[in-house]
Amino acid sequence: MPGHELIDSEAIFAPLNAFRRIGLAVSGGPDSLALLLLAADYARKHAQPDRFIVYSVDHGLRPEAADEVGFVLALAHQYGFAARGLKWEGDKPVTGIQQAARAARYALIGAAMAEDGAEVLVTAHHLGDQAETVLMRLAHGSGVEGLRGMDYFAEIGGVMLVRPLLGIEKAQLARVIAAAGLAPAADPSNIDTSYERVRWRQMLPQLAAMGLDARRLARFADRMRDADAALGEMAARIAVDHDEMTGERRIARAALRAAPRAAAIRALGNVLRDAGGGAKAHDLAPVEALVDRLRADPALKRTSLHACLISSDGETVSIAPEPGRSAKSQARGKGQRSVTRN
């Protein structure tokens, strides 16, 4: 297969041998088409086309999308893969369309994977995507947990994702496509500067000229991942008492004061996420300020943050869901946490 020698398909897919059936997310754009070609090369070498199933989603946002999905399905069948086209039906939001489309995409693919027996979904996120993610999270005030960037393994919306191309440059993927003689789809949203990610993407060449290129940003993310693991271990040593009936959590104030500040911030952030029933906020500053206040002041009558009510009697810090949030805290937040594996 032309172009496969540009990237070693064994290095991409051999680490996934534990999974019996693998989903491939293929939009028809250059990155995901390269992923499809690499999977086809691996499947051909090992005579394993039945291990892969391709999923392509028409979000109903562009008239060309239906033809792009058709192209992907035809190409997948050419390589001997099963393939399913999915469509996001119904009304679309006026704002936050990319986030809504992402959620819809994973919901559709997740449901299809459950029917097909696919255990993981491989996506084409690459080195440039990782760099953009780090920059965006840095701009949003993320702490160490956010600055680790995207993980190789992650769970989103109940779908287990694998991102084996995170160390591969976009230009390398483009060469795979060019060598195969394929014409990828062009999504105009990828150059629409109304989207923050696109603005950071356009900024990357200038940052690279100053020495802050995508690979250096990805290396920074790797170091943050190591630091995040160490910080998580320290935070886990801070005991949290959980009342299952009320949803209230309690932490000894002395434990918050004795722990390293970063560990105390992580521990309280985890509790706020769990009690409030949502994902961690991007901006860590309000949690930092709350920890500083709890560590400095003997008592705190009551304050609110991230859908929680927080108070302290000088000895115990109490964190309770705001009224009406208790039930939600049991149901929300699942599927939005990154999962790392050694």
Dihedral-angle region of residue 250 (phi above 0 means left; psi in -120 to 50 means alpha; beta otherwise): beta
Q: What is residue 217's three-state secondary structure?
A: helix
Tell me which H or E stretch contains 303: strand 300-305
pLDDT of residue 190: 87
- Per-residue confidence (pLDDT) for residue 221, from 0 to 100: 97
Per-residue model confidence (pLDDT) at position 281: 64
Run of H or E including 84: strand 82-87
Question: Residue 104's closest CA among 94, 89, 119?
Answer: 89
Kindly report the backbone phi and psi dihedral angles of residue 75, in degrees, each rounded to the nearest multiple of 5, phi listed first. Answer: -65, -40
Compute CA 232 distance to the chain's CA centroid, rounded to the nearest angstrom: 18
Closest CA to 147 of 125, 130, 166: 130
CA dist., res. 25 & res. 45, Å (int): 21
Domain boundaries of the chain, sorted by first residue: 4-219, 237-330
Inter-CA distances, 108 with 55, 103, 120, 139, 332, Å: 9, 9, 14, 31, 19
β-pair type (22-25, 120-122): parallel
Q: 4-219 has which fold?
A: Rossmann fold (3.40.50)
Predicted TM-score (pTM) of the model is: 0.86
pLDDT of residue 189: 86
Predicted local confidence at residue 4, as pLDDT:
54
Of 42, 51, 37, nearest to 120 by C-alpha is: 51
Q: In tens digits, what is the pLDDT along the chain, a chain of 342 residues?
A: 555 568 999 999 999 999 999 999 999 999 999 999 999 999 999 999 999 999 999 999 999 999 999 999 999 999 999 999 999 998 889 888 888 999 999 999 999 999 999 999 999 999 999 999 999 999 999 999 999 999 999 999 899 999 999 999 999 999 999 999 999 998 888 899 999 999 999 999 999 999 999 999 999 999 999 999 999 999 999 999 999 999 999 999 999 999 999 999 999 999 999 998 875 666 889 999 999 999 998 889 899 999 999 999 999 999 999 987 554 444 444 443 333 333
14 DSSP assignment: G
The matching CATH number, chosen from 3.40.50, 2.60.40, 3.30.465, 3.90.226, for 237-330 is: 3.30.465
